[in-house]
């Protein structure tokens, strides 16, 4: 059997572009015991992968070099099974190489219960996927969000941020979000339910945050770091909490990375800054899935994603993601 895969064709010269990839026809290996043959149906893309393309190995995976096939999370359908764990036709989530049909070890797949087939596949890559699990772990477990909190989310229109905003709203908190375009700011207030939002490019972050949250904030969910972390440390109330999820503004800066100059506010304001790594919290997954599915049924939470049609458009979709052409998660529909 033959299938297609997306390989890195050349090292990027500057930012990663679609022409750095090529689509190749390859053979599919024989299915062994404990394995399943799967077809890729939806592929979720994340910008962080760009750090590894033509780059060194990182904590998130090895460097990707010409001839390598990148992988990101995807929804797959089982075509054939040599394990009791899966039946033909069942859906699962896996870290999927960018390959149309593939052989996978069954124990590396997370099965989607057939009773939950009414939940759209895209949601498995957003609110119920890795970004949703990250936002839930950080907002609910680490941040301990409460209905009486005023919460600020940086990078709020991104994959994790758009989930973090919705989860905080679902528990009844007031939410302020920041994003980098007017369109994303509109999404935050009109579609995700944020009470206020601002474009972080419109001026000094601390001023923008103060006017969006004049009475201060109780909880900061940070995806970005840099100026926005500094702004939050100015505006957090006494005994406020900051959840350090990511630092997108500092990635790729090497030794030029900078921390907040005003970190001493943590002393006077008795602030708590707490980082986390989602992979250390797998024990929360069952509770996360049940709670978010319930919020979806109640209409409090929905999947925010941009769909690009067709497996052959994975390179274009990835390049578009890097230039901000997405709202929420970038998802490729590989059925069409």
Ligand X SMILES: NC(=O)c1ccc[n+]([C@@H]2O[C@H](COP(=O)([O-])OP(=O)(O)OC[C@H]3O[C@@H](n4cnc5c(N)ncnc54)[C@H](OP(=O)(O)O)[C@@H]3O)[C@@H](O)[C@H]2O)c1
Nearest Cα neighbor of 21 from 73, 67, 74, 52 is 67
Angstrom distance (rounded) from CA 316 to CA 228: 30
Question: Which of 81, 96, 150, 223 is in the footprint of ligand X by CB under 6 A?
Answer: 223
Supply angle C-alpha 287, 290, 294, rounded to 5. 135
Q: Does 192 bind ligand X (CB under 6 A)?
A: no
Q: Is 20 in the site for ligand X (CB under 6 A)?
A: no
* Shorter beta-carbon distance to ligand X: residue 51 or 262: 51
In this complex, which beta carbon is closest to ligand X, that of residue 100 or of residue 158? 158
Residue whose entry in the numeric block shows the structure tokens 């602030």 = 271
Q: How far is the CB of 313 from ligand X (least distance, A)?
A: 19
Using CB under 6 A as the binding criterion, the count of chain residues that bind ligand X stands at 26
**Which of these ranges, 24-32, 75-83, 244-252, 306-314, lies near ligand X under the rule CB under 6 A?**
244-252
Rounded Cα–Cα distance for residues 196 and 210 (Å)? 11
Both tokens of 219, joined, read 């909880």
Closest by Cα among 29, 95, 84, 10 to 61: 95
Q: How far is the CB of 127 from ligand X (least distance, A)?
A: 12
Instruction: Give the range of 155-163, 186-194, 292-300, 301-309 binding ligand X by CB under 6 A.
Output: 155-163
Contact call for residue 129 and ligand X (CB under 6 A): no
Provide the CB-side half-sphere exposure for 326 (13 A, CA).
25
Cα–Cα distance, 235 to 206 (Å, whole number): 8
From residue 22 to residue 61, the character string flagging contacts with ligand X as x (rule: CB under 6 A) and all else as - is ------------------------xxx-------------
Smallest distance, Å, CB 54 to ligand X?
19
- CA 323 to CA 51: how far, in whole Å? 14
Nearer to ligand X, 37 or 242 (CB): 242
248 near ligand X (CB under 6 A): yes
Closest CA to 22 of 63, 66, 57, 58: 66
φ/ψ of 44, rounded to 5, equals: -95, 135
Q: How far is the CB of 133 from ligand X (least distance, A)?
A: 9
Q: Does 72 bind ligand X (CB under 6 A)?
A: no
CB of 103 to ligand X, least distance (A): 27
**Closest to 186 in 3D by CA, of 175, 173, 197:** 197
Phi, psi values for residue 25, rounded to 5°: -90, 130
Q: Could you tell me the smallest distance in angstroms from the CB atom of residue 328 to ligand X?
A: 8
Give the x-and-dash track for 265-304 against ligand X (CB under 6 A).
-----------xxx--------------------------
Q: How far is CA 280 from the centre of its chain?
A: 16
Sign of CA dihedral 168, 170, 176, 177: positive
Beta-ladder partners of 5: 24, 99
- Per CB under 6 A, the list member of 74, 97, 100, 155 interacting with ligand X is 155
Instruction: Name the residues that contact ligand X, by CB under 6 A.
Output: 46-48, 131, 134, 155, 157-161, 179-180, 184, 200, 223-224, 245-249, 276-278, 324
């Amino acid at each position: 059997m033959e299938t297609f895969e997306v390989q890195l064709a050349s090292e990027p010269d500057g930012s990663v572009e679609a022409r750095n990839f090529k689509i190749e026809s390859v053979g599919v290996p024989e299915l062994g015991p404990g394995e399943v043959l799967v077809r890729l149906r939806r592929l979720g893309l994340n910008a962080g992968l760009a750090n590894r393309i033509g780059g060194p190995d990182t904590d998130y995976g090895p460097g990707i070099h010409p001839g390598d096939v990148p992988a990101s999370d995807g929804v797959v359908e089982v075509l054939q099974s040599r394990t009791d764990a899966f039946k033909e036709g069942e859906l699962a989530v896996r870290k999927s190489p960018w390959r149309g049909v593939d052989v996978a070890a069954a124990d590396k797949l997370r099965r989607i219960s057939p009773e939950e087939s009414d939940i759209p596949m895209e949601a498995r890559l957003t609110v119920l996927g890795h970004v949703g699990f990250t936002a839930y772990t950080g907002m609910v477990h680490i941040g301990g969000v409460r209905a009486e909190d005023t919460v600020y989310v940086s990078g709020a229109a991104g994959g994790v941020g758009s989930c973090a905003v919705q989860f905080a709203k679902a528990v009844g908190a007031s939410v302020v979000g920041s994003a980098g375009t007017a369109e994303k700011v509109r999404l935050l207030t009109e579609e995700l339910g944020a009470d206020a939002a601002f474009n972080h490019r419109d001026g000094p972050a601390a001023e923008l945050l103060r006017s969006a949250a004049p009475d201060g904030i109780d909880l900061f969910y940070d995806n970005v770091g840099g100026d926005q972390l500094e702004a939050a440390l100015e505006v957090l109330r006494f005994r406020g909490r900051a959840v350090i999820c990511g630092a997108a503004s500092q990635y790729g800066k090497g030794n030029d990375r900078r921390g907040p100059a005003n970190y001493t506010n943590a002393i006077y304001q008795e602030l708590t800054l707490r980082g986390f790594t989602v992979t250390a919290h797998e024990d929360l997954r069952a509770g996360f899935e049940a709670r978010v599915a319930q919020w979806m049924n109640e209409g409090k939470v929905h999947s925010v994603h941009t769909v690009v049609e067709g497996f052959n458009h994975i390179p274009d979709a990835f390049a578009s993601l890097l230039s901000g052409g997405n709202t929420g998660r970038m998802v490729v529909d590989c059925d069409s």
